[in-house]
C-alpha cells in the first residue's frame, strides 16, 4: 500500500510540474477572430509547437478538459473572463511535455433588436413611425432619395420607389440589426391611350402607380397582350381600357377610350398613281419618336410639297422638300398613325408613318 501511495503522489507531482509553463516553451496558441468577441460568436483556437516528437494536445478552459486532442479547438459558449490554454502531451496523453500561453477572453453581451413593427407601404405625402421593442438602437434608410427616417423611427416619403429601413443596436463591439422593406406609393393617375391605333399594332399605356390590373371592355377590339399595360388592336371599333388599383393611397378605377382602325384604308387620303418621274419616297426611322428624315428621288429635279394628315384625313402639317436631298423634320405630333402625301409635278404618292413617343 505504501508503495502504491508513493507512486500516486509521484504521478500527481509529475503532472502538476508539467502543467507549469516551461522556461523553453515551444507551444503557442492563437485565436480567431480575437480575444474580444460577442456572445455566441464562433471562436477558433489553434496550437503550434516546435517539438518534433510525436505528441497530442489537451485543451483547457478554466482548467477543465474540453475539445479533442487535435491542434484546434472551436467553441461558441465562452463567457467573459474565460481562460483558454492547452498542454502538449505524449501520444498516450499522460505526460505533459509543454504548456502553451494563456488567452483570457473578453465576451461582450449581444443585445438583439426585435422585429420592426409598422406598415411596409406608405403613400407619398403621408408619414408613419416605425417601432422596435428593444430600446437604444439607431434608425437609417438605405435610399434617402425615396424616404428618410428620423432618430425616433418617423418615416417621411420623398419620391415613389423602394427602400429599406434598418434598426441597429450596438453593445460594445457587438452589432446587430433588422430591417423592413418599404415602398412609397402614389395615387393612380388618369391614363391616356394613343386615341387611335391600327389593327394588329401594339400600344403601351403607363400609369405612375404600379401594381394595378389592366383590362379592355371589348376584348375583340383590343386585348391585353403583355403585362403592365401592353395592348394589341384586333378589329376595327372603339372600346374602353381600364386600370384598377388598390394601394396605400386608396382605391382607383381609371378609364380611357381607344379606337382601332384599318390603317390600309386611310380616311380622306386619295392616292393617285405614282409618277414615273418619282421613283422613291423614303421615311426614316419609321416608327419614329417624333424626328424623322424624308427623302424623295426624281429625275426631273422638281421641288415637292409633303402634306401630313391624320387617320381622319385632317391636315396637321406640310413642308417643302428638295429633290434627291434628305430633309429632317422635328415633328411635334402626338403618338399615332399619320400619312405623308408627296406632291411633285402634278403627281402624288403616299406613305404611312407611325409616331410613338
* Dihedral pair phi/psi, residue 23, rounded to 5°: -65, -25
237-247/250-261 β-pairing: antiparallel
- Mean pLDDT over 121-131 rounds to 95
- What pLDDT is attached to residue 25? 54
Cβ burial of 43 (10 Å; 0-12, 13-18, 19+) is buried
- What pLDDT is attached to residue 23? 40
Which residues does 8 contact at the CB level (< 8 Å), separation at least 6?
none
Whether pLDDT at 241 is above 90? yes
pLDDT greater at residue 68 or residue 271: 68
Whether pLDDT at 317 is above 80? yes
Report yes or no: 354 and 287 within 8 Å, Cβ to Cβ. Answer: yes
To the nearest whole percent, how much of the chain has pLDDT over 90? 46
- Mean pLDDT over 57-68 rounds to 95
- Mean pLDDT over 287-304 rounds to 78
To the nearest whole percent, how much of the chain has pLDDT over 70? 85
- What pLDDT is attached to residue 20? 46
185 secondary structure, DSSP code: E
- What pLDDT is attached to residue 164? 97
pLDDT greater at residue 101 or residue 211: 101
Whether pLDDT at 5 is above 60? no
d(C-alpha 110, C-alpha 93), whole Å:
37
Coil, helix or strand at residue 33: coil
Compute, in degrees rounded to 10, the torsion defined by CA atoms 111, 117, 123, 126. -80
Which residues does 22 contact at the CB level (< 8 Å), separation at least 6?
98, 99
Whether pLDDT at 98 is above 50? yes
Q: How far is CA 239 from CA 196, 205, 206, 217, 231, in A?
A: 11, 14, 17, 6, 12
- What pLDDT is attached to residue 45? 97
Q: What are the residue ranges spanned by the domains of the chain?
A: 14-108, 121-185, 196-261, 278-355
Range scoring the smallest mean pLDDT among 61-65, 124-128, 220-224, 294-298: 294-298
- What pLDDT is attached to residue 175? 87
pLDDT greater at residue 274 or residue 231: 231
Whether pLDDT at 191 is above 70? yes
Whether pLDDT at 157 is above 90? yes
Report yes or no: 279 and 345 within 8 Å, Cβ to Cβ. Answer: no
Cis peptide before 33 (omega within 30 of 0): yes
Cβ burial of 28 (10 Å; 0-12, 13-18, 19+) is middle
Whether pLDDT at 13 is above 60? no
Whether pLDDT at 145 is above 70? yes
Selecting from 3.90.1330.10, 3.50.50.60, 2.30.29.30, 2.60.40.1080, what CATH number does the domain 121-185 have? 2.60.40.1080
| Fold that domain 196-261 belongs to in CATH | Immunoglobulin-like (2.60.40)
Whether pLDDT at 93 is above 90? no
Q: How confident is the model at residue 193 (pLDDT cuts 50, 70, 90)?
A: confident
- What pLDDT is attached to residue 223? 92
Q: How confident is the model at residue 312 (pLDDT cuts 50, 70, 90)?
A: low
Whether pLDDT at 231 is above 60? yes
Long-range contacts of 127-131 (CB under 8 A, 24+ apart): 127/154, 127/155, 127/156, 127/157, 128/154, 128/155, 129/153, 129/154, 129/155, 130/154, 130/155, 130/165, 130/167, 130/180
Looking at the structure, give the CATH architecture of the domain made up of residues 278-355. Answer: Sandwich (2.60)
pLDDT greater at residue 231 or residue 102: 102
d(C-alpha 212, C-alpha 207), whole Å:
9
Q: How confident is the model at residue 286 (pLDDT cuts 50, 70, 90)?
A: confident
- What pLDDT is attached to residue 253? 93
pTM: 0.53
| Fold that domain 14-108 belongs to in CATH | Immunoglobulin-like (2.60.40)
121-185 and 196-261: identical CATH topology? yes
d(C-alpha 119, C-alpha 90), whole Å:
64
Element (H, E) at 7: helix 2-19
Cβ burial of 41 (10 Å; 0-12, 13-18, 19+) is middle
Amino acid at each position: 500500500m505504501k508503495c502504491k501511495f508513493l507512486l500516486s503522489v509521484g504521478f500527481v507531482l509529475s503532472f502538476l510540474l508539467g502543467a507549469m509553463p516551461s522556461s523553453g516553451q515551444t507551444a503557442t496558441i492563437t485565436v480567431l477572430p480575437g480575444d474580444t468577441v460577442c456572445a455566441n460568436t464562433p471562436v477558433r483556437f489553434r496550437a503550434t509547437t516546435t517539438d518534433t516528437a510525436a505528441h497530442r494536445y489537451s485543451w483547457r478552459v478554466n482548467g477543465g478538459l474540453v475539445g479533442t486532442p487535435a491542434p484546434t479547438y472551436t467553441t461558441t459558449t465562452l463567457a467573459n473572463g474565460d481562460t483558454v490554454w492547452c498542454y502538449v502531451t505524449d501520444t498516450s496523453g499522460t505526460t505533459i511535455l509543454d504548456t502553451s500561453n494563456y488567452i483570457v477572453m473578453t465576451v461582450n453581451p449581444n443585445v438583439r433588436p426585435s422585429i420592426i413593427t409598422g406598415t411596409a407601404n406608405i403613400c407619398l405625402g403621408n408619414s408613419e413611425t416605425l417601432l422596435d421593442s428593444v430600446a437604444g438602437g439607431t434608425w437609417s434608410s438605405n435610399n434617402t432619395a425615396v424616404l428618410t427616417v428620423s432618430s425616433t423611427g418617423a418615416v417621411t416619403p420623398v419620391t415613389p420607389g423602394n427602400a429599406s429601413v434598418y434598426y441597429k443596436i450596438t453593445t460594445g463591439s457587438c452589432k446587430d440589426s433588422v430591417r423592413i422593406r418599404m415602398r412609397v406609393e402614389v395615387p393612380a393617375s388618369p391614363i391616356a391611350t394613343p386615341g387611335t391605333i391600327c389593327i394588329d399594332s401594339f400600344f403601351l399605356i403607363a400609369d405612375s402607380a404600379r401594381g394595378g390590373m389592366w383590362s379592355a371592355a371589348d376584348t375583340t377590339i383590343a386585348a391585353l397582350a403583355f403585362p403592365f399595360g401592353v395592348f394589341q388592336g384586333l378589329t376595327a371599333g372603339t372600346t374602353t381600357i381600364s386600370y384598377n388599383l388598390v394601394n396605400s393611397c386608396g382605391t382607383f378605377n381609371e378609364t380611357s377610350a381607344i379606337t382601332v382602325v384599318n390603317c390600309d384604308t386611310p380616311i380622306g387620303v386619295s392616292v393617285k398613281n405614282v409618277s414615273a418621274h418619282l421613283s422613291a419616297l423614303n421615311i426614316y426611322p419609321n416608327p419614329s419618336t417624333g424626328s424623322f428624315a424624308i427623302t424623295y428621288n426624281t429625275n426631273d429635279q422638281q421641288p415637292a410639297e409633303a402634306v401630313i394628315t391624320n387617320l381622319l384625313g385632317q391636315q396637321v402639317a406640310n413642308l417643302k422638300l428638295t429633290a434627291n436631298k434628305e430633309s429632317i423634320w422635328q415633328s411635334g405630333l402626338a403618338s399615332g398613325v399619320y400619312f405623308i402625301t408627296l406632291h411633285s409635278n402634278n403627281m402624288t404618292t403616299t406613305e404611312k408613318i407611325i409616331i410613338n413617343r
